[in-house]
Structure 1
C-alpha cells in the first residue's frame, strides 16, 4: 500500500472512530456523571492518553509510585487494551485498583460484574471459541464445574509423571549438546527449550497428543506460536478491531494475524476432535483406556456423566484450545524466569540442588505428594518466582453495570472529597496490577524487589501481605470464583521440571552476573537480553558433578 493510501485509510479510520466515540460521549452525558472523580497522572494527549511506557518498560514500578502519590485507587488516561501485545488509546480512562479490599471486590464479590471488553472477546473468540477463558456468568459456572474434576489433586497426581518425563527428554537433548562441546559447557537458549517442554507437556497431559518438539519434530501449533513472536499488530489491524465494534463486518477482513489465529484454532480443533471421536468409540465398545489420564478425556467423561453440567462437543474442544492459550506462555515464561533467577543467585541454586539431591539421590524422582509437602525450599523458590515474575501482569476488565467499589483505606478524590468507596459506571475499564501488587513494598516490605526465597521459610515478612487474598497471598493465579483452574496443573509442571533440571545441570548467565534484561512484548511478556532482537534467553549450562 502506498504511503498516501495508507494515510488516507488511517484518516478515514480516525474519523469513523471519532464519530463512534462522539455518540458514546453523548450517551454518557445524557446519563449524567456517576464515576468518582479520581486523581492520577496527567494525560499526554487527548487522543493517545498516557503513552509514557515503552515496549520494554515495566509499568508496575510506576503503578506503585502513583498509588503512593494519588491513593490506592487512581486513574490513568490510557488506552483500550486489545491484547497483551498492543494497545490503542482513544481518550479513555482506566482505573488502577491497588487497594486490597477493592481487589477482592472485583475478583470475588462482583465476579461477573466485570467482564472482558468486547475487543478482547472478539480476539479471544477468533483463537479459541466458546472456551472457559471467554465464558461469562452461568455459562462460566457450568463449564467450570465440568472442568473441575480434570484439575483435581487426584487427576494432577496421575499426570505428574508426564511432566517429569518431559523434563528428562530435555535432559537427554542437553546432554547431547554438552557431549559435542569439548569444554563441558555450552550456551543454551533456555527460553526456546522451555517453550518446547511446555507445549509437549500440555499436549500429552492435556489431550494425549505428543507434539514432539523437544525431539525436534515439526509441529504446526509450535510453528504458529513461534510466528506470533515475530508479527506485530499493524495500525490497519488495530483500527480494524476498533472499528469492528461499530461495524462488525470489518472483523472478517483477512490479515496475517487473523490467518495465524485461524490456523492455530483449526489444528487444535483437529487434534481434539480426533480424541473425542476415539473416546466415543471406546465408550460405545465399553472399553476404557486406563493409561490415558489426560485432561480432555476426564473432561469428556465428566461432561457425559453429568446431567447437571453437560458440555457440548464444541465446548469440550474449545477447552483444549483454551488450555494451550492459557498454559503455554505462563508455564514456559515462569520456568525461564526461574532458571534466570537461579543463574543470578548461585547460593539459591546450590541450596535448592542440595535439598533435591540429598533426599532423592537414590530414591528416584519426587512424587506429587512430595512436591506438595516434602520439599520446603523448592516450594519457597516456586512461590518467589510466582511473586516476582507472574505470567500475567494485569487483570483488565470492563464494568458490566454501575457499581460501588469499597476501599480498605479512604482516598482523596480530585474534587477534594475523602471517600471510603468509589462509584464506577458501566463500560468503565478497571485494572488490577498483578505484578505491582506482588512486588509492592507496602505488602511485601522494603526487600520486595529482591528475589528472596527465604522469606517463605523464615516467616519474617516485613509488609502486610496478608491483606491480599489469592494463592499464598499472591495474585498470580487471580482470585475468587475465576481463580485459575489450572493452578495445580501449573504448579506440578513447574516443580517437576525444576527438580529434574536443577539436579542435573548448573546455570549461569551467558554474559556474566551483571547482564541487563528487558521485556519483549510478543505473544506474551518475555524476558530478553537488552539490545538483542529476538526474545531468547541464553544461559551457560554445564553438568553437575
Structure 2
C-alpha cells in the first residue's frame, strides 16, 4: 500500500503554481504573437481579476448575462477568463461551421507566408473540447467520449456509431412503450380520485434512466411505479449538474493541470479530496463513485451473461446497446478494440447524458405545455387521432412522422436547449472567419479573428438557435433541424435520435390521457450545465424540482 503523504501548505502551493503555469504561458505566448487580434474584439470590461467573467457566465442564474452579451455585442465578443485571459464568445454561423464541421483547415489557418506556419490538422482537431472540460469529464466519467480527443475520440466514436443506428432504434420502440405504460399507469393511479400535484422531474429522471437501462444495457434499474423506490443512481446523479455549476471555478482552475500531469497520482488525489473540508467536493466524489460502481457492476454482469450464454442468448439480449457494443468490440482488431476501462467509461457517459439531458428536455416540454393549454390541446388531438389509427404503440416511422408532436419537440429544443453553451479550445494558431465584419475596439473592420494556440471559444447554442440572422441564409452546422442543440461535426451528440424517440414515446403515452397545468409555486429554470428547474427563487436548492398539476382529461 502506498505510504500516506501529508497534506502540507507546500503541497497546496505547488498545486496552485502548477495550475497557474499553463495560464501564464498562454498569456506570454499571446503577448509575443503580433497577429493576435483577440484583445481587439469588443466585450464587457467588468469581472474580477481572478475569475474574470467566469462567475457571471457559470452560475445558476446566468441567463440574463448571456442574453445581455448577445444583445450588446452581437454574434461575437470577447470575455475574460481566469486572471484576465481573453476568451472568444460567439454564435456566428460561419465561425461555428469552421469550428465544428469544416473538413480541411488549410484555408482558414494562417498563411504559409507567415512565420506561424500551420500544422496539417483537420478542423475537428484544431477546435477540440476545452482542456478543463475533458479533464473534468475524465474525472467524472472516465476515458469516454466526453474526455478524449483527436484520433482517440474518432476511434471510440467509430465503435459506438452503429449501435445508435435507426435500424437498432426501430427494435427499441416496444421497450420504450412498455416503460411508458408503467408511467402512464402510475399517473393514472395518482389522479384517479382527482387532480394531483406531481413532482415531474423525478419521474422524468426515473423513466429516462429505466428506458436507457433496458434499451442500453439490457437491465432494469427500477420499475417506474409508485411502490418501487427510486434507484440510488437517479436520486444521486440528478444533483450532479447543479454541483458542476457551483463548483465550476475551482474545477476549471485546478483539474486541468492535475489531470494533465497526473499530479500525485489517483491515490493521493483521492486522499486530498477526502481530507479537505469541502462538502461540495465530497458530494461530487460520492456521485462519481456511484456512477463508476453502477457501470462496472452492469458491465461485469453483462460480460458474465454473454460468456455463459454465447450465441444462445435471447434476441432481446442481443439488441441492447451494451450487448451490441461488446460483441462488436470483441470482433475488432487489437488496434480498434476498446479496453474494458473505456467501455465502462462509455457506459457512465451515455447513461448520464441519456438520463439528464432527456429528462431536462421532457420537463421543459411539459412545463411549456402547462403554460400553453391551446398547444397542449392541439397536441392531444393529434395523438388521439394517431391512437385511433396506429393503436397504443405505433411503430418507429408512424411515431416520428407525427407533425405536431415533432413541431412541439423541435420548438422546445430550439428555444430551450438543455445545454445552452459549449466550449472549444484551439490546438494551433488559427484565423476564425466571421459571416459579417465587425468593428474592433480600435475601429478597424474585422472579418476574422486570430486565435493563438490554446485559446478558448465559448459557443452559445441558445443564442444561435434564436438568432434571426440564422433563420434564412446562414448555414448553421447542426445535425438536427438547422439547430445547434445537438451541435455538429465529429463531436455531435451521438444519441440525439435515441433522445428524440424517447421524448416522443413518453409524450404519446401521457398527453392523450392527462392534462398538465401550472402549480401554485412559480418554476425557475437554472442555467446549470444541463438546464434544470426549481421552485426555489434563491436558486440555492441543488436538487431539481418541478411540480405540475396533473388531471384526467374530461373525455378520457
Same fold (TM over 0.5): yes
Cα displacement (A) at 1:267: 2.0
Counterpart residue number, 1:241: 255
What is the SS of the residue equivalent to 1:74?
A: strand
- The equivalent position to 1:469 in structure 2, one of 470, 477, 480, is 477
The offset of 1:53, in angstroms, is: 5.6
TM-score by length of 2: 0.82
**For 2:455 and 2:329, how far apart are their aligned partners in 1?**
36
Which 10-residue stretch deviates more, 474-483 or 218-227? 218-227
Matched, 1:205 2:241: no
Q: CA deviation at 1:413?
A: 1.7
Match of 1:371 in 2: 399
Q: Which residue of 2 aligns with 1:396?
A: 423
Q: Does the CA-based 8 Å contact 2:523-2:546 persist in structure 1?
A: no
Is the partner of 1:396 in helix, strand or coil? strand
Cα displacement (A) at 1:539: 0.4
Give the TM-score normalised by structure 1.
0.84
Does residue 1:116 correspond to 2:125, yes or no? no
The superposition leaves residues 142-191 of structure 1 with CA deviations (integer Å, 9 ceiling, x where unpaired) of 22222121101110011112221221111121122224xx4x11000111
Q: Deviation digits for residues 352-391 of structure 1, max 9, x if unmatched?
A: 1101102213723221111222x11111111111111211
Residue of 524, 527, 533 corresponding to 2:530: 524
Alignment of 1:105-504 (within 5 A): 105-109=98-102, 110-179=123-192, 182=193, 184-212=194-222, 214-215=224-225, 216-228=228-240, 232-233=246-247, 240-241=254-255, 244=258, 248-249=263-264, 251-252=269-270, 253-255=272-274, 256=282, 257-283=284-310, 286-292=311-317, 293-307=319-333, 309-361=336-388, 363-373=391-401, 375-443=402-470, 463-464=471-472, 467-470=475-478, 471-504=480-513
| Cα distance in 1 between the residues matched to 2:95 and 2:36 | 18
CA shift for structure 1 position 494: 0.6
Is the 8 Å Cα contact of residues 507 and 541 (structure 1) preserved in structure 2? Answer: yes
Contact 1:71 1:412 in 2 (8 A): no
Q: 1:118 to 1:267 in 2, by over 3 A?
A: same
Report the Cα distance in structure 1 between the residues aligned to 2:325 and 2:147, rounded to whole angstroms: 18
Q: Runs of 5+ in structure 2 lacking a partner?
A: 1-6, 103-122, 275-281
Partners of 1:101 and 1:236 lie apart in 2 by 33
The one-character-per-residue Cα deviations of 1:5-49 (angstroms, maximum 9, x if unpaired) are 999999998777556644543344345552442111113332231
Look up the match of 1:74.
77
Note if contact 2:159-2:325 (Cα within 8 Å) is conserved in structure 1.
Answer: yes
1:41 aligns with 2:44: yes
Q: Distance in 2 between matches of 1:115 and 1:54?
A: 20
Distance 1:439 1:489 in 2: 24
Report the Cα offset of residue 481 of structure 1: 2.1
Q: Secondary structure of the residue that 1:248 maps to in structure 2?
A: coil
Structure 1 pair 239–99 and aligned structure 2 pair: CA distance change class (3 A): closer
- C-alpha displacement of 1:327: 1.3
Q: How many residues align?
A: 502
RMSD: 3.0
Structure 1 residues 123 and 328: alpha-carbon distance in aligned structure 2, compared to 1, 3 A threshold = same
Relative distance call for 1:337 and 1:235 in structure 2 (3 A) is: closer
- Give the gaps of 5 or more residues in structure 1: 80-88, 444-462
